[in-house]
Chains A and B, each alone.
Chain A
Amino acid sequence: MTDDVPIPNHTTTLRVLFRLAPYVRPVRWQLLCSMSATLLAMACGLVIPLVTQRILDGPVATHNLRALPLLIGIVLALGIVEALSFFVRRKLVARPTTQIEARMRADLYRHLQRLPISFHDQWQSGQLLSRAVSDLSTLRRFLAFAVIFLVVNTLTLIIGMVVLFLLAPLLGLITLCASLPLIAVSTLFESRYKVVSRLAQDQEGDLATTVEESALGIRVLKAFGRGPELLRKFTVQAVELRGTQLRKIHILAFLWAVIIGLPEIGIGCQLLVGALGIAHGTVSVGTLVAAVTVATYLRWPTDSIGWLLAETNQAASACERYWEVRDSLVTITDPEHPRPLPADGTGHLRLEGVRFRYPGAADDVLRGIDLDVRPGETVALVGATGSGKTTLTSLVARLADVSGGRITVDGVDVRDLTLADLRTAVATAFEEPVLFSASVRENVALGAPDATEADVRSALRVAKADDFVEALPWGLATRIGEQGLSLSGGQRQRLALARAVVGRPAVLVLDDPLSALDVHTEAEVERALRTVLHGVTALVVAHRPSTVQLADRVALLVDGRITATGTHHDLLADNPEYRHLLSTLDDRLPSEELA
Chain B
Amino acid sequence: MTTDIQPTAPIAEEEWRGVAAEDLDELTVAIGLKLQARSRRLLGSLLRPHRRAVALSLLLVLGENAAGLLGPVLIAAALDSGVPDAVHGRPGVLIACVAGYLTCGVSTAVLRFGFLRLSGRIGQDIMLDLRRRIFGHAQVLSLSFHESYTSGKIVSRLTSDLDSIDALLDEGLDGLLSAGFTVVGVGIMMIWLDWPLGLLVMVGFVPLVWVTRWFYKSSQDAYRGTRGAIAKIIVHFVETMNGMRAVQAFRREPRNEQIMDGLNGSFQEANRVALSVVARFTSSVRLVGNVSLALVLGIGAVRVADGGLQIGVLAAFTLYLRRFYDPLDDLAMFANAYTAASAALEKISGVLEETPGVPDPVDPVPLAHPRGEIRFADVEFRYSPDTPVVLPGLDLRIPGGQTVALVGPTGAGKSTVAKLVARFYDPSAGAVELDGVDVRRVTDLELRQAVAMVTQENFLFSGSVADNIALGRPGASRSEIEAAATAVGADTFINALPEGYDTDVRKRGGRLSAGQRQLVAFARALLADPAVLVLDEATSSLDVPTERAVQEALETVLTDRTALIIAHRLSTVLIADRVLVIDDGRVVEDGSPEELVAGEGRFADLHQAWLESLA
Contact = CB atoms under 8 A, between A and B. Distances in A.
Given A95-B272, A110-B257, A261-B108, A222 B83 contact: no
A482 B235 contact: yes
A80 B287 contact: yes
A337 interface: no
Given A211-B159, A215-B154, A258 B109 contact: yes
B251 A419 contact: yes
Given A133-B230, A271-B98, A334-B3, A264 B86 contact: no
Interface string B356-370: 000000000000000
A230 B136 CA distance: 9
Contacts, number: 484
B244 A83 contact: no
16 contacts: A83-B284, A87-B282, A109-B257, A132-B237, A220-B461, A249-B117, A265-B102, A292-B75, A384-B543, A397-B248, A477-B19, A479-B20, A519-B609, A581-B545, A584-B569, A594-B611
Contacts of B294: 72, 75-76, 79
Nearest to B101: A268
A275 B94 contact: yes
Interface string B454-474: 110101111000000001101
B471 A264 contact: no
Interface residues of B, number: 168
Given A86-B282, A246-B120, A264-B108, A423 B250 contact: yes
Nearest to A123: B241
A94 B19 contact: no
A176 B171 CA distance: 30
B597 A253 contact: no
Contacts of B43: none
Given A125-B238, A212-B151, A271-B78, 20 more contacts: A55-B297, A75-B294, A87-B280, A106-B257, A111-B2, A133-B230, A211-B154, A217-B460, A219-B143, A219-B455, A223-B453, A256-B116, A261-B110, A271-B75, A275-B86, A385-B513, A477-B19, A478-B20, A543-B544, A546-B613
Interface stretch (A155-163, A305-313, A551-559, A585-593): A585-593
A481 B20 CA distance: 10
B461 A213 contact: yes
Contacts of A481: 239
Looking at A114, A229, A260, A520, the one whose CB has the most chain B CB atoms below 10 A away is A260
A499 B83 CA distance: 88
Contacts of A120: 241, 244
Contact of A218 (B114, B146, B264, B471): B146
Q: Ordered nearest first, which 3 A-B pairs have the shortest CB separation?
A: A79-B290, A264-B105, A439-B18
Contacts of A360: none
A68 B452 contact: no
Interface stretch (B193-201, B211-219, B311-319, B432-440): B311-319
Interface in A92-118: 93-95, 98-99, 101-102, 105-106, 109-114, 117
A267 B101 contact: yes
A520 B583 CA distance: 14
A446 B598 CA distance: 49
Dominant SS among interface residues on chain B: helix
Given A60-B301, A223-B453, A580-B545, A518 B245 contact: no
Contact of A420 (B251, B264, B609): B251
A268 B246 contact: no
B185 interface: no
A384 B543 CA distance: 8
A31 to B, nearest CB: 14
Contact of B243 (A221, A253, A434, A516): A434
A285 B315 contact: yes
B140 interface: yes
A403 interface: no
B324 to A, nearest CB: 13
Contact of A296 (B18, B319, B454, B528): B319
Contact of A585 (B15, B235, B574): B574
A544 B424 CA distance: 32
Contact of A87 (B82, B131, B283, B315): B283
A427 B138 contact: no
A447 B251 contact: yes
B268 A98 contact: yes
Contacts of A543: 543-544
Interface string A510-536: 000001101111010000000000000
B558 interface: no
Interface stretch (A4-12, A185-193, A235-243, A406-414): A235-243
Contacts of B457: 219
Contacts of B94: 272, 275-276, 279
A260 B108 contact: yes
Contacts of A93: 275
A437 B245 contact: no
B283 A234 contact: no
A265 B106 contact: yes
A440 B19 CA distance: 10
Interface stretch (B31-39, B122-130, B377-385): B122-130
A225 B112 contact: no
Nearest to A89: B279
B534 to A, nearest CB: 8
Contacts of B613: 545-546, 549
A253 B19 contact: no
A254 interface: yes
Looking at B101, B265, B594, the one whose CB has the most chain A CB atoms below 10 A away is B101
Contact of A72 (B136, B298, B445, B471): B298
Given A293-B318, A446-B250, A222 B311 contact: no
A84 B283 contact: yes
A249 B2 contact: no
A245 interface: yes
B548 interface: yes
B409 interface: yes
B113 A254 contact: yes
A211 B319 CA distance: 51
B551 interface: yes
B58 to A, nearest CB: 17
A477 B86 CA distance: 86
A240 to B, nearest CB: 10
Looking at B1, B547, B614, the one whose CB has the most chain A CB atoms below 10 A away is B614
Contact of A253 (B112, B234, B282, B293): B112
Interface in B1-51: 1-3, 15-21
Contact of B83 (A111, A275, A546): A275
B246 A434 contact: yes
B184 interface: no
B483 to A, nearest CB: 18
Given A209-B507, A594-B611, A76 B291 contact: yes
B241 A484 contact: no
A517 B83 CA distance: 93
A477 B18 contact: yes
B410 interface: yes
Contact of A219 (B447, B459, B609): B459
Nearest to B304: A60
A567 interface: no
A268 B444 CA distance: 68
Contact of A65 (B18, B151, B301, B507): B301
B559 interface: no
A114 B449 CA distance: 51
